[in-house]
Structure 1
């Protein structure tokens, strides 16, 4: 039986694409193991799926001054040793990495054991961990065509992002029922990620009176961000966080307002959901979301509004414009070649598996 080691961690975005691949790999008869950090979010998510999990030492690779920059390189070196021993013990035929700092030792360990490895880069430009790992990897899969110019030509493959099967199986009527909405007005969904988006939440609340004249709004506002003064307003439903219900909320939505994380926007593309993207500003990130959003705008998939320019008025204008042109957005997304990247990635995996 062929064996694959999956790796990726630090955030859910570095884990869920791996988990999206798991049922397809299992159907093909592959034995699967996972290497992550000792106590990262990946440990909880992977063990919940019943996949054998192995923790290693992991240090964060920072671009800024921090006292941990002194100790963390030693953790990375320790992690390389642990990953190398684990891979020698597990004897995988392939390692697949979704990124995050814990993956660097695993990709290096694969190289030291002469095991082929694949990296998947979701964002327009590679993050620091993947930049390091590229030197040791066999192939690099990308979400964006524009990313290919930043990578070695003999390694890079445009595949798209693996999308969770369950996110594609939502039902509009279940979403409407969950929120207490009906079919009298179009439905908006605002999602800022598991931690929410404070600035967007504030502007939405200032715009709420005008929004609810035309639309119903489901608002994923993040842990601890529920506004108790707005709990009983008709047509407005707040959630701190959802999991299984997300597919139904997306299914019911006519327009989605979102950050521009690669996994999220890939799901919107696969579902062909007209959207307003409000990327994390450059001072709060490495600028990857701005690049992601710009690409989606240029392809006709999204309306983009920069957070620093956002007001109650232009947010309302962005929502109206996107809703009024929703057929154009859906048409552009329908012609995209990216969509769900599972079959493309499986093809790359199987190709490497069959090579001597």
Structure 2
């Protein structure tokens, strides 16, 4: 079976493709894959997972006036032209798209060639590329059930939806709590907090944590700053050290990047997560059953992170605080209130497990069935 993959631009579009590929390879030995995308991060992910990759021209549509919109507009026809002939050569049975601006030329070319197209939408509010792609797709797989369907509501799309949830990499579900705490040099006696800002980091969260450290000395912190937005404390050497764990105080560990193995250890070592509200992060903390404080990215397209976060909050799995309302004092107060209330943490943990996942491999198994059934 031949599957053409597309999607990328950020880790939010790339990581789920890797999770899907891992599971499909477990089920089909005759699988042949080909990934069309932009350069980083999808090219790196394809290389790491031994997937043939081809870069194509693609234009990003910005939701504000920019001269680059005009230039990028002309890249889309070029990308369609490239994709058309690459698809003719590969002859895929199915085209699987994870969204992002890079996917649109591929989807249009696949539709012109009458290929079967599966689109997966991770967020509660679908992105522009997926709203267009959904009309050309054979099936639309949803990470959040009714919420995404409402946004994509149209008579022409009825019957296309399948709720699969969001795929989670198997490695994320591994890890021993004792070994994880040893790896991060954490005490067994103190609660641990994992702080992260998504695949690209979050300057606001980084700086907020740096201002709050002195008031959080009774807790242990693992902080993934992101390579692009390094906190005040990390700025001097974090870029050079990359994913090497650095300690500046006894209770604080930071790094610019956690690979999947270290991320799995960080999840299993911590009692509470502070994070943005990207769909992949939420899927992972739900799979691990972790309570969370969510700070949605205010500039996210269509405010999709806020919509994602509110679903978790409504179901009792998270506390949501908008960035404009959050101060160091308020954050410290929230953390202290939660970590001094084990019963609330346990309840939130149970709610998190039931928010998206219904067993370790339920969702990715259902997604696999959807892909194979359409062939």
User: How big is each residue's C-alpha offset from its partner over 1:77-108, in whole Å with a ceiling of 9 and x where there is no partner?
Assistant: 11111111111111111011111111111111
Give the C-alpha shift of residue 132 in structure 1.
Answer: 1.5
Of the three residues 218, 221, 227, the one matched with 2:225 is 221
Q: What is the rounded CA distance, in whole Å, between the counterparts of 2:181 and 2:223 in structure 1?
A: 13
Give the C-alpha shift of residue 123 in structure 1.
Answer: 0.9
CA change 1:55–1:195 in 2 (3 A) is: closer
Of the three residues 136, 157, 161, the one matched with 1:156 is 161
Partner of 1:326: 345
Partner of 2:242: none
2:92 equivalent to 1:76: no
Partner of 1:29: 29
Give the C-alpha shift of residue 290 in structure 1.
Answer: 0.8
Of the three residues 193, 201, 208, the one matched with 1:196 is 201
Of the three residues 176, 179, 186, the one matched with 1:174 is 179
Q: What is the rounded CA distance, in whole Å, between the counterparts of 2:25 and 2:64 in structure 1?
A: 41
Q: What is the rounded CA distance, in whole Å, between the counterparts of 1:195 and 1:104 in structure 2?
A: 22
- Range 225-234 or range 250-259, more displaced: 225-234
User: How big is each residue's C-alpha offset from its partner over 1:125-171, in whole Å with a ceiling of 9 and x where there is no partner?
Assistant: 11111112112111111111211222222111111001011111123
Which stretches in structure 1 are left out of the alignment for 5+ residues?
none
Q: What is the rounded CA distance, in whole Å, between the counterparts of 1:140 and 1:271 in structure 2?
A: 26
User: How big is each residue's C-alpha offset from its partner over 1:246-270, in whole Å with a ceiling of 9 and x where there is no partner?
Assistant: 1101110000100001110111011
Q: What is the rounded CA distance, in whole Å, between the counterparts of 2:3 and 2:300 in structure 1?
A: 35
Partner of 2:332: 316
Of the three residues 330, 343, 349, the one matched with 2:371 is 349
Is 1:203–1:311's contact at 8 Å kept on the other side of the alignment? yes
Q: What is the rounded CA distance, in whole Å, between the counterparts of 2:37 and 2:12 in structure 1?
A: 15
- Range 330-339 or range 256-265, more displaced: 330-339
Is 1:143–1:338's contact at 8 Å kept on the other side of the alignment? no
Is 1:9–1:36's contact at 8 Å kept on the other side of the alignment? no
Is 1:301–1:330's contact at 8 Å kept on the other side of the alignment? yes
Partner of 2:243: none
Task: State the SS of the aligned residue for 1:173.
Answer: helix
Q: What is the rounded CA distance, in whole Å, between the counterparts of 1:345 and 1:316 in structure 2?
A: 40
Partner of 1:238: 254
Q: What is the rounded CA distance, in whole Å, between the counterparts of 2:180 and 2:314 in structure 1?
A: 31
Partner of 2:191: 186
Is 1:226–1:238's contact at 8 Å kept on the other side of the alignment? no
Give the C-alpha shift of residue 317 in structure 1.
Answer: 2.3
Is 2:99–2:130's contact at 8 Å kept on the other side of the alignment? yes
Q: What is the rounded CA distance, in whole Å, between the counterparts of 2:78 and 2:86 in structure 1?
A: 12
Partner of 2:268: 251
Task: State the SS of the aligned residue for 2:119.
Answer: strand
CA change 1:194–1:135 in 2 (3 A) is: closer
CA change 1:175–1:216 in 2 (3 A) is: same
Q: What is the rounded CA distance, in whole Å, between the counterparts of 1:248 and 1:332 in structure 2?
A: 22
Is 1:201–1:221's contact at 8 Å kept on the other side of the alignment? yes
Which stretches in structure 2 are left out of the alignment for 5+ residues?
237-245
CA change 1:102–1:242 in 2 (3 A) is: same
- How many residues were matched structurally? 350
Q: What is the rounded CA distance, in whole Å, between the counterparts of 2:80 and 2:59 in structure 1?
A: 11
Is 2:289–2:353's contact at 8 Å kept on the other side of the alignment? yes
> TM-score scaled by structure 2?
0.88
